[in-house]
Amino acid sequence: MKKSGAEIFVESLKQEGVDVLFGIPGGVVLKLFDVLHQQKDVEVILTRHEQGAAHMAEGYAKATGRAGVCLVTSGPGMTNIVTGLADAYMDSVPMVAFTGQVSTSLIGNDAFQEADNVGISRPCTKHNVLVKDVNDLARTIKEAFYIANTGRPGPVLVDIPKDITTDKAEFKYPDKVSLRGYNPTYEGNKYQIKQAAEEIMKAKKPVIYVGGGALFSDAADEILEMAELTQIPVTMTLMGLGSFPGTHPLSMGMLGMHGSYWSNMAMHHADLLIAVGARFDDRVTGKLADFSPVARVVHIDIDPTSIKKNVHAHIPIVGDVRTVLKQLNIILRSLDGNVNERKQQLKPWHNQIEEWKKAHPFKYQQDDKAIKPQYVIEKLFEMTHNEGIVATDVGQHQMWAAQYFKGKKPRTFITSGGLGTMGFGFPAALGAQRAYPDELVMCITSEGSFQMNLQELATAVIYKLPVKIVMLNNGHHGMVRQWQDLFYEGRYASSVLGKIPDFLKLGEAYGIPGWRAEKPADVESVIREGLKYKGPAIMDFQIYPFENCYPMIPAGGAQHEMVLEDPPDLKTKGGGSKKMEADDEGVLPA
């Protein structure tokens, strides 16, 4: 029996094991939503904005490792997910986005809500395709999921014209995919892996540098084994957090622009870098000319275009991170079976890193007056016993979360890295919560980021997604204000947000309870009440508005050229030249 394109679409999703999609209907995709409405295997979560749908699909994918799915209509429906596509593309997130398109006979005629979905999305997708024949639909969907999930993961867009959803064809879902121009390499070169093992065993100042590719490869166990076998300290990018336990003695935490002093110094002085699923982006390297000047580089990545793109690799290994590390660990075990001997060999290096750590730890001063944001994160970490999933928005709060919330499991720290998308955190948290309904999921955000997708509070309530919103509310675009303090003489040009809205009243409008902390003594009780509540909840922390995030590698600076605290002129003024009390409306004087 022939099936309509809409029926083929739904059956194909079932074949791929899709259990949920996020989206909003519109005229050209009504047939798809109608067929979805008549079945129970694939849940449809109706979001309040298409960008929210895209970020929920991302959060689902980052939490599970499986492709997230969203479905939106043509025209503005599609253009509203472009930010989500670009975010997923930068962070290598497996996602399949289905977009509606006007009927094939109308394409190119400037029909109502027509947009060139393929052309618009080409720069920010791993692959995209316009379905022109219903007979190609099932194969196209199979290929979309295959491309999204394999090799270096990424978003794939499938554009479906209205008439394709109603046309009929025989349904046969392909068993496998064979694409002549797409054949990712999974097995690393054995000779290069052996070379890497030999370099590791003779290095005196080695560092394992882990990126997000390790998480999507499920390589956490292999990284832990390599680190403990060789006693090499491990540092992670923002996207790599969770790939190695943050509380492990060999963990140096995050490196880069707002990474730990000791990890950046270790990278600068290392004689060997083992880069695992990382791409040497500018937030990690700082000034490229001065990056790790004496280190030899082993670079393991499934994407050959990422190797040698920014930093020369002396030993490039193209392959799946987990597969390559399994091979590497076998060789390392054969070369060195004595961990204690290796500890002694690297003791001077470990001692040096410990000295850097003691000299410049993460620090802040908490008094009994203003709440410091770091204190909130530390208390949250302590009171959740390092359990649950944390999603963040983008800004100072994101960096403080990365510094002070030492996750111990993979896929439990979800954030926007490459694109730095404000508004990502809350919908991504909802996607993660849908993937793991029984897990504690927290969104660490700020009043600036949260307002970019706050409409998804309705989604949280309707679908009973009990995400805990931890808001570090400083009345500013905090990271922008920090740069204005440091580089623009404290002129807060368009960075002051004030005290609008009242987030507890906003939550009340959606049926979500909230608690507010205005002084340090309130922090623990607010966290306790928020975590105890069974549904979504808002915790509004009125933090000190002029706290700056350190360490910081300024633009154009090298790894070892970190700013560690406010410069003297800021300290004497209590901050920038505009640091003064806001009036009752939350507006600073001119």
Respond yes or no on whether the N-terminal peptide bond of residue 551 is cis (omega within 30° of 0): yes
Q: Angle of helix 347-359 relative to helix 261-269, nearest 10 degrees? A: 140
- The Cα 158–Cα 154 span in angstroms is 13
* Section 469-490 average pLDDT: 95
Query: What is the residue type of 126?
Result: K
Respond yes or no on whether the N-terminal peptide bond of residue 94 is cis (omega within 30° of 0): no
* Section 377-381 average pLDDT: 97
In this structure, how many other beta carbons lie within 10 angstroms of the beta carbon of residue 38?
A: 9
> What pLDDT sits at residue 343?
84
> Considering the chain, what is the average pLDDT of its residues?
94
Q: Which of 162, 372, 406, 578 is catalytic?
A: 162
* Section 301-320 average pLDDT: 95
Least confident of 103-107, 408-412, 574-578: 574-578
> What pLDDT sits at residue 386?
87
264 and 560 Cβ atoms separated by less than 8 Å:
yes
* Contacts for 534 with CB less than 8 Å, ≥ 6 apart: 466
Q: Tens of pLDDT along 187-226?
A: 999 999 999 999 999 999 999 999 999 999 999 999 999 9
How far are the Cα atoms of 70, 154, 219, 339, 399 from residue 216, in angstroms, in the given order? 20, 11, 8, 29, 22
Segment holding 442, helix H or strand E: strand 441-445
CATH of 2-170, one of 1.10.3720.10, 3.40.50.970, 3.90.550.10, 3.10.129.10: 3.40.50.970
Q: Tens of pLDDT along 418-441?
A: 999 999 999 999 999 999 999 999
Q: Tell how far CA 419 is from the center of its chain.
A: 9
Length of the chain: 590
In this structure, how many other beta carbons lie within 10 angstroms of the beta carbon of residue 574?
A: 10
- The Cα 397–Cα 415 span in angstroms is 11
> What pLDDT sits at residue 577?
43
Comparing CA positions, the residue from 46, 119, 19, 40 lying closest to residue 79 is: 119
Token pair of 112 as six digits:
């109502």
- The Cα 125–Cα 109 span in angstroms is 25
Confidence of residue 337 (pLDDT cuts 50, 70, 90): low
Token pair of 455 as six digits:
């409409």
Segment holding 338, helix H or strand E: none
Task: For the domain covering 373-573, report its CATH number.
Answer: 3.40.50.970
Confidence of residue 338 (pLDDT cuts 50, 70, 90): confident
- The Cα 364–Cα 374 span in angstroms is 7
Give the Cα-Cα-Cα angle 395, 397, 400 (nearest 5 degrees).
115
b/e 351-377 (16+ beta carbons within 10 angstroms → b): eebeebbeebeeebeeeeebbbbbbbb
> What pLDDT sits at residue 587?
42
Do the first three CATH levels of 190-359 and 373-573 match, i.e. the same topology? yes
Q: Tell me which residue has tokens 């001077």.
A: 348
* Section 437-457 average pLDDT: 97
Q: Which of 50, 199, 447, 547 is catalytic?
A: 50
> What pLDDT sits at residue 68?
98
Residue 578 reports pLDDT greater than 60: no
> What pLDDT sits at residue 254?
97
Residue 566 reports pLDDT greater than 80: yes
* Section 458-486 average pLDDT: 97
- The Cα 420–Cα 401 span in angstroms is 15
Comparing CA positions, the residue from 35, 40, 42 lying closest to residue 13 is: 42
Write down the pTM of the prediction: 0.95
Residue 280 reports pLDDT greater than 90: yes
Give the Cα-Cα-Cα angle 549, 456, 385 (nearest 5 degrees).
50
% of the chain residues with pLDDT over 90: 92
- The Cα 132–Cα 134 span in angstroms is 7
* Contacts for 413 with CB less than 8 Å, ≥ 6 apart: 241, 242, 389, 390, 392, 401, 402, 405, 407
Helix, strand, or coil here: 143? helix
* Section 354-375 average pLDDT: 95
307 and 324 Cβ atoms separated by less than 8 Å:
no
Where are the chain's structural domains? 2-170, 190-359, 373-573
- The Cα 471–Cα 443 span in angstroms is 8
Confidence of residue 573 (pLDDT cuts 50, 70, 90): low
> What pLDDT sits at residue 556?
87
Q: Which of 479, 539, 552, 562 is catalytic?
A: 479
**What phi-psi label fits residue 423: left (phi over 0), alpha (psi between -120 and 50 degrees) or beta?**
left
Segment holding 2, helix H or strand E: strand 2-4
Known catalytic residue at 372: no
Comparing CA positions, the residue from 166, 105, 160 lying closest to residue 137 is: 160
Q: Tens of pLDDT along 284-298?
A: 999 999 999 999 999
* Section 491-513 average pLDDT: 96
Q: Tens of pLDDT along 106-123?
A: 999 999 999 999 999 999
Confidence of residue 572 (pLDDT cuts 50, 70, 90): low
Known catalytic residue at 50: yes
Known catalytic residue at 309: no
* Section 497-510 average pLDDT: 96
- The Cα 46–Cα 71 span in angstroms is 10
| DSSP at 533 | S
Q: Which of 112, 172, 187, 383 is catalytic?
A: 112
> What pLDDT sits at residue 408?
82
Comparing CA positions, the residue from 244, 246, 245, 186 lying closest to residue 219 is: 244
Fold type of domain 190-359 = Rossmann fold (3.40.50)
Residue 574 reports pLDDT greater than 60: no
Q: Tens of pLDDT along 239-276?
A: 999 999 999 999 999 999 999 999 999 999 999 999 99
Known catalytic residue at 112: yes
**Class of residue 344 by CB neighbours under 10 A (exposed 0-12, middle 13-18, buried 19+):** exposed
> What pLDDT sits at residue 575?
53
